[in-house]
Structure 1
Amino acid sequence: MATPAGLADRGFLRLLLLSGVIGVPIALVCFFFVGLQHELQHWVWESLPHAVGYNRAPWWWPLPALLLAGLLLVPVLTRFPGHGGHVPADGLMSGDPIGPRDLPGVILAALTVLPLGAVLGPEAPLMAVGSGLALLAARSAGPAASKVLGTAGSTAAIATILGGPLPAAVLVLEGAAGLAGARTAMLLLPCLLASGAGALVFTGFGHWTGLSIGALTLPDVPKEGTPDAGDFLWGVPLAVLIAVVIACGHRLGRATAAWTGRDAAARTVLCAVAVGGLLAAYALVTGRSPQEAALSGQATLAQLAAAPGAWAVGTLLALVVCKGLAWAVCLGSMRGGPIFPALLLGAAIAVAASGLPGLGAAPALALGLTAGMTALTRLPVASAVFTGLLMGNAAVAQMPLILVSAVVALVTVEWLPERSG
């Protein structure tokens, strides 16, 4: 087999070596960044309520927390270089990689809004940290090499919370599918090497220190056999419904971004208060903790996957409405990653319907995760791979439904009317 042009070039080999090397410090920085974020989140939502006499965060807890998040975020948006990073509604890989100059604002924005309850994930700030550190190490490289190293740094960072380098590499590969074959390989290989080296260090430090590494995992998932006709009968329209819900939330996020862009200071605070109100509404309606609707949704998704039957349909629908609207507002006003909440929303919709005749909990969870991520990212292969890794051995039997759900969700969002903005 012929070697793609450029892969044997000495300059590219040096670039590949540098990609493997930078994955190690990027993983270390990401480890402590995620660890600090989780410690702050635990303090805000668990330690502090206990300290003031509550068994759990009361229903009104999100109101002052999100107000504070908005007030602290405004100076970052208006005064720091880079305005705290990319707007989440623009997508996970929008724009050029974040440079070193913008890193302080990105880190400060993430450590401000994510622990205080913004309905966003840590994936976008981590990618920004990875690209900024990589570009700092590649200051003497040319523009083309810097862009590859910046992408490799982002991939190494996001691999730390996506369960390993494989889903991160597939994400990059599918996102770069418009490139020619050789050019795609020259982008993918540095990303794969950097994320592999980084994941090894990140995981090792997690075992050594005992700190939570923050990767999205599902320790327990429903175990059922191969999907039958009933699962596909309900699964296809459910994938359509999930795609429509996620697409509508994304569009609302883009509209919110356009609205806050005209007066960032006042309108960002208003959006933060609105998010706090939606999270409080979930707690009032369901009698459960507002923490379930706040934050990225990692913990809530793990609880849902472990015991889907323990969630009433009404509770799941309230979660979808309140968290979905809060997520949409955060997409256009806060800073963070858009994917993790979309995964929970897709799973919640599907599990709420798992009581339908012929639809099992495991197929519902599989199709919900896949459709939710596909509808947001429009990357069906990466979404299917990520769902498979999340569900582990249980995904083997569900793979036909996972693939069909990915295709149906993608076709649905492509057939919806053109997005505004």
Structure 2
Amino acid sequence: MAQDTMQQAPASPATPARDLLPLVLPALVVGAGSSLLYLGVSELATLLQHVLWGSLPDALGIGPYSVLWMLVVLTVTGVLVGLVVWKAPGHAGPDPATVGLSSTNPLPPGVVPGLLVAGMLMLAGGPSLGPENPVLVSNVALAFWLGRRLAPRLPGDAWASLAESATIGALFGTPVAAALLLSEALAGKPVRGMLWDNVFGPLIAAAMGALTTSLLARRTFDLDLPAFGHPHWQDLLCAMAVASAGALLAMMAVYALPYVHGAFGRLRHPMVALPVGGLVLGILGAIGGRLTLFKGLDEVAELARNPDGWSAGQFADMAVVKLAALVVAASCGFRGGRIFPAVFIGAALGLCAHAAVPAVHPALGVAAGVLGVLLAVTRAGWLSLFTAALLAPSPDVLALLCIASLPAWLLVTGRPQMQLREDGTSVR
């Protein structure tokens, strides 16, 4: 009976090549443009960061990462971002706590400058958020606005899809992450044609975005951790334990987000909430140290260069402080994303496990920790698995991560997500 049913099921007709070819040029243009915007914002933020945390304190004779300087810079960053959110058109985009990784409703182009300035100030000033949301939302808005004028025959949602995929490709330096996210988003939805037809244009945009980033910036997620050898049964137990611990740790932040967001919401004005948030982040930075500042990707590389350079307690402190900083930064109104800080949290947790139990290989610990934390923060299984495997590229590690993702997923599925609705309640 099942075989008869399968034979009777209508097959999805493939999309003719003449319908796919018009996507190629727009995908290439959007891919390159999305990467250039990301690299431009990142470069400007890096230059400003060098001034704030290098040239300026040196000229004043102050330690760049002294407690006083952390409090001053992060509080001033809150003031500047608060001013942009208050006065910029569209208030520099939506509340970041209510925004996920995808951007379903393109913003008016007039909102983009304020959003990019707020994101650049945040990246330079040290709050624990990444560039992904401001850059992605801006790319979608610009691609939608320009695309509808230059090529009106292409539907608006196609431009948004191209920009999202291009940005993910640019951020990760590979189109695979975008393809996995798109495949996951299409699962369970009625799609026209075959799956590969639907990812054709976005995959070209993601590849062009990744290639542009790689050619111009030569960035990589490979942390050059000690090579993982032949796996043993205890490695599977370690991976499952660390991934589950990462999921549980990150779920604490998920459950705390509505309450912390509500507390900052009661301050009502961005010129109050953001400076107060910056001050709190400065205190957290003083507790956790300089590695718990900023988006976290460069800091993860520093941890990975010396996985035995800190004690288990120090790694644990950094993971917990970074997690608290992520919740505060996302709650008080700083414009930024949550993926890159989550990678730092997972990496610090994995190295904590290695320091506490030397049998946990550092590469496996980092990958499993990142996997668990990202599953809780993003609920994107493919993205979490891919990012974790990208940090410690090894077929054996990937096999272990696939199994370790199962208990970690059971701990997070069906529970609140790290994203809020407009009324402040958690998305489920």
* 8 A contact 1:41–1:116 mirrored in 2: yes
Q: Which residue of 2 aligns with 1:204?
A: 215
* 8 A contact 2:319–2:345 mirrored in 1: yes
**Residue 273 of structure 2 corresponds to residue 267 of structure 1:** yes
Q: How does 1:87-236 map to 2 (within 5 A)?
A: 87-90=95-98, 91-93=100-102, 95-140=104-149, 145-182=155-192, 185=196, 187-206=198-217, 215=219, 217-236=221-240
* 8 A contact 1:7–1:13 mirrored in 2: no
Q: Which residue of 2 aligns with 1:49?
A: 57
Does the C-alpha gap of structure 1 residues 226 and 380 become closer, same or farther in structure 2, counting only changes over 3 Å? Answer: farther
Q: What amino acid is aligned across from residue 352 of structure 2 in structure 1?
A: A
1:343 & 1:336 partners in 2: Cα distance? Answer: 14
Q: Deviations 1:244-268 (Å, cap 9, x if unpaired)?
A: 2112213323433344345032223
Q: Which runs of 5+ in 1 are unaligned?
A: 207-212, 284-289
2:178 & 2:275 partners in 1: Cα distance? Answer: 33
Does the C-alpha gap of structure 1 residues 154 and 35 become closer, same or farther in structure 2, counting only changes over 3 Å? Answer: same
* 8 A contact 2:128–2:329 mirrored in 1: yes
Q: Which residue of 2 aligns with 1:295?
A: 294
* 8 A contact 2:31–2:166 mirrored in 1: yes
Q: Which residue of 2 aligns with 1:209?
A: none
**Residue 400 of structure 2 corresponds to residue 362 of structure 1:** no
Q: What amino acid is aligned across from residue 367 of structure 2 in structure 1?
A: A
The structure 1 segments of at least 4 consecutive aligned residues displaced by more than 6 Å after TM superposition are none
Partner of 2:148, secondary structure, is coil
* 8 A contact 2:168–2:177 mirrored in 1: no
Does the C-alpha gap of structure 1 residues 168 and 104 become closer, same or farther in structure 2, counting only changes over 3 Å? Answer: same
* 8 A contact 2:374–2:384 mirrored in 1: yes
Alignment RMSD (CA, Å):
2.7
Q: Larger Cα Rg: Structure 1 or Structure 2?
A: 2
Q: Which residue of 1 aligns with 2:285?
A: 279
1:414 & 1:143 partners in 2: Cα distance? Answer: 40
Q: Which runs of 5+ in 2 are unaligned?
A: 1-9, 419-424
TM-score (norm 1): 0.87
Q: Deviations 1:215-249 (Å, cap 9, x if unpaired)?
A: 45234212121332222223323222211211221
Q: Which residue of 2 aligns with 1:312?
A: 311
Q: What amino acid is aligned across from residue 155 of structure 1 in structure 2?
A: S
- Say how many residue pairs are matched: 404
1:310 & 1:233 partners in 2: Cα distance? Answer: 25
Q: What amino acid is aligned across from residue 127 of structure 2 in structure 1?
A: A
Q: Deviations 1:70-93 (Å, cap 9, x if unpaired)?
A: 111223323334432343433222
1:95 & 1:303 partners in 2: Cα distance? Answer: 35
2:300 & 2:106 partners in 1: Cα distance? Answer: 29
**Residue 391 of structure 2 corresponds to residue 380 of structure 1:** no
The alpha carbon displacement at 1:99 in A equals 4.0
The alpha carbon displacement at 1:120 in A equals 0.4
**Residue 85 of structure 2 corresponds to residue 84 of structure 1:** no
1:122 & 1:194 partners in 2: Cα distance? Answer: 19
* 8 A contact 2:37–2:135 mirrored in 1: no
Q: What amino acid is aligned across from residue 112 of structure 1 in structure 2?
A: L
Partner of 1:323, secondary structure, is helix
* 8 A contact 2:42–2:120 mirrored in 1: no
The alpha carbon displacement at 1:314 in A equals 1.8
Residue in structure 2 matching 1:28, options 12, 36, 56: 36
Identity, in percent, stands at: 28
Does the C-alpha gap of structure 1 residues 247 and 51 become closer, same or farther in structure 2, counting only changes over 3 Å? Answer: same
Q: Which residue of 1 aligns with 2:350?
A: 350
Q: What amino acid is aligned across from residue 231 of structure 2 in structure 1?
A: P
1:246 & 1:331 partners in 2: Cα distance? Answer: 14
* 8 A contact 1:99–1:131 mirrored in 2: no
Does the C-alpha gap of structure 1 residues 152 and 418 become closer, same or farther in structure 2, counting only changes over 3 Å? Answer: closer
Moved more, 379-388 or 328-337: 379-388
1:109 & 1:396 partners in 2: Cα distance? Answer: 40
2:235 & 2:123 partners in 1: Cα distance? Answer: 36
Q: What amino acid is aligned across from residue 150 of structure 1 in structure 2?
A: A
Q: Deviations 1:62-119 (Å, cap 9, x if unpaired)?
A: 2111111111122332333443234343322254234423211210110121210110
Partner of 1:92, secondary structure, is coil
Q: Deviations 1:24-59 (Å, cap 9, x if unpaired)?
A: 223223222221122222222233333333564213
Does the C-alpha gap of structure 1 residues 73 and 54 become closer, same or farther in structure 2, counting only changes over 3 Å? Answer: closer
2:64 & 2:131 partners in 1: Cα distance? Answer: 24
Partner of 2:81, secondary structure, is helix
Does the C-alpha gap of structure 1 residues 64 and 56 become closer, same or farther in structure 2, counting only changes over 3 Å? Answer: closer
Q: What amino acid is aligned across from residue 405 of structure 2 in structure 1?
A: A
* 8 A contact 2:339–2:374 mirrored in 1: yes
Does the C-alpha gap of structure 1 residues 344 and 407 become closer, same or farther in structure 2, counting only changes over 3 Å? Answer: same
TM-score (norm 2): 0.86
* 8 A contact 2:251–2:376 mirrored in 1: yes
Does the C-alpha gap of structure 1 residues 350 and 203 become closer, same or farther in structure 2, counting only changes over 3 Å? Answer: closer
Q: Deviations 1:391-421 (Å, cap 9, x if unpaired)?
A: 23xx222112211232222221126578843
The alpha carbon displacement at 1:144 in A equals 7.9
**Residue 388 of structure 2 corresponds to residue 402 of structure 1:** no
Partner of 1:139, secondary structure, is helix
Partner of 2:155, secondary structure, is helix
Does the C-alpha gap of structure 1 residues 391 and 148 become closer, same or farther in structure 2, counting only changes over 3 Å? Answer: same
